[in-house]
Structure 1
Amino acid sequence: MREGKLAAQAWPMHADAEPQEIQAHRALLSDLAEELGSLTEEQREHLLAIYDAAKQRDRPSELNIDAMAEVIDDRTLARVSASNDHAAQRHASDLASFRRPTQRALDILSKLNSDAAPLFDFAETMEVLVEIGRLCGPLWLSGRGDDFPELPDLALNAALPALSVLTTTSEVWDERRGQLITVNLSDRTDEIVAAVSNAVADSRHEYFKLVPTSGPLPSGRAARDEEMKRRTGERLRAERDAHSAVENLLAPIREWQERLNARVAEHERQAAEVAEAAARALRRERASEGHDMPAPQPYGVSARGAELWVRDVIRHFGAADAEVTTATNDGGVDVLTERHAVSVKHYTGSVPVEEVREIFAVAIQRGLQAVLFTSGSITQAGLDFASVAPVALIRYDVGTASLAGLTSEGTALVEQGFGTTFYV
């Protein structure tokens, strides 16, 4: 447009024929536009149409001698060259913005380097996630829904678990309830996905204005091959740059998650050491009270002997009042304590779910915790029921005097003793 206005000043209204200087000026501009490999033929024609419109619209009543001097080739070349250098710098800067995260997003994530617990508000978290979407825009080649890149979804899946911990809750207006409600990040997943998808679409539009990789191909075979090669190269570069830029945002989040996992693992290790120390102290206390772990019985025991052996185990594990019930009409209960109803199944087969249900029902009726010891195994249905009820399942071996919890409740009794409460 600038060159068109300049040409108009050299073509006054009273002159019918277009001066040769202006014709040469337009031809030079057309040649310069063709030399710009990043412009399609349609784009070049559009620029020349803008030039022609400005040239016709802004003609003065008198010739501007200075303007006539400016449209000669040397001055036009110098002026266009300087303009192109500036445009090239701006173009390179605009392209670079698609190849690296914004400083704002990096500044937000720099909080993760602090030893203090970092907390983002929802707006900050959304800025980081939308920036991921913006960086993925160049990957959406066609703009059709079935061509939407997978990188944004992969990045969200990688980032959201940690960001859900890091982001403070916020208050939003609930139209249905007519009041403010408190929500966390996971409650706003739909809003996040929509914002990221919009960022991808907007970014795609801006990127392909800078780097055309679609539209009609040139007519000549060599030119067409060269253009296809250029487009393929641009797409490969866009994919590489997008993955690299998104990784720059995900890396500090992953590092924070790894540090958190390490701290959790250390806390769990310390807790396990404390529990083991407490268990050792409990074993020493039981031994001093005369409730030693019953000895192994390498030749086995009878069913009644198994009940007595389990009773001694339970006494050793903290329930000194454990007693064997009478042999008949026990309702499936073989050992009783003040807090537990215990069934002992001394056979090598699998205990069916019916017997697990039986001890649970009797225990509930008496207001006690249900425990089942077995020398064999438990059917899958029995295990499923016990995990829900719950029933503490423990496998015992009198030959080696060993115990193993078959449910979390059974494991807790073995590891922490029969003073453990696993349900109220």
Structure 2
Amino acid sequence: MTFESLGISKQLVETLHSNGITNPFPIQQKAIPVILEGKNLLGIAPTGSGKTAGFVLPILENRQQLNYKNSRNIPVLIVVPTRELAIQIESFIKLCSPELKRPIKSMAVYGGVAINPQMKNMIGTELLIATPGRLLDLLEQNALSLDLLETLIIDEADKMFQLGFEDELQAILKTIPKNCQHILFSATLNDKVETIKQTLTVNFETVEVEKILEVADPIDQIAYYVTPERKGPFLRYLLKTQVTSQALIFVSSTRTADNLSVKLAKNGIKTATLHSKKTQGARNQALTDFKSGAVQVLITTDILSRGIHIDMLPVVINYELPRSPLDYVHRIGRTGRANETGQAITLLTLEDMHHFKIIQKKMKHRVEVLPTDEIDVKNM
């Protein structure tokens, strides 16, 4: 199956090919025809499955056929839970746009930065990507109107509720015209997502790919047992002797992220941190530095566990376990994407062992746990 056979025009396909995107993934094969037909869609697909292209491509395809008068009336709205995901989606839209029949203006808006430039840039925006809080701010300022909205996309719908956006999302849905096209994407189908469906009172065509806890084959998982006092030194040992390329390290709190970053930096390891207490400028810079290779290690919380693609990321390290098996799968899914190879390393203390057994059981995948007591980490 090809993108052209799904209904994507030659211009868009050539742009995709020039960027190394040649064959559609399963979620794209299922979602693109439904969206092109203007139907309401509920897509159940894990992070890293290619769903961004699954909705961006048909939206761009359809918009090429339509005229748009510059105004503050937004025809296409994409609501996302995090700033990083908003920026990523906008980047993909811009990647696909050079060869379009007519220019289509897109913009990502989110909190943590000044609102006035976003308000001034709103006129003529055809595809708006927004986090819930900033979108409501802009609506209150009359910077935009959703009265003529034609397509609503809610990405990572289940994550919206995990991050506490339920009230904001419900407020947004009250402003949406009933006759617009509704597209929801979620990694899971839970009670909260069902509530969104009921609120919208439209009929959805549901498409689903992969079992949520399946781990991509290219990901090689390994775990190490360490005592709490040897955990930091052993991480430094890994980064200096085993993981000499880039590594994305997950921790459970912003405090741990900052403390770990300081210790690694003192040991000559170039490190950046990205978490919710960082300013948007600092978060953008950390991600840019990591993607460019300016730093070897990026330490983050689960804010980066979903929706963010980093090309050719070789290693993910769980310095601390996440709360749920699903979050574990999302974390390690940052590597081994799009059939690339990758490695996921997890550091375990005695109190982690029971929880890690539960994670393995949910994944239906056994991970070898190796001892580390004979490894000399005194000088690390």
TM range (shorter): under 0.3
TM-score normalized with structure 2 length: 0.23
Answer 1 or 2: which has greater helix percent: 1
- Between Structure 1 and Structure 2, whose CA radius of gyration is higher? 1
TM-score normalized with structure 1 length: 0.21
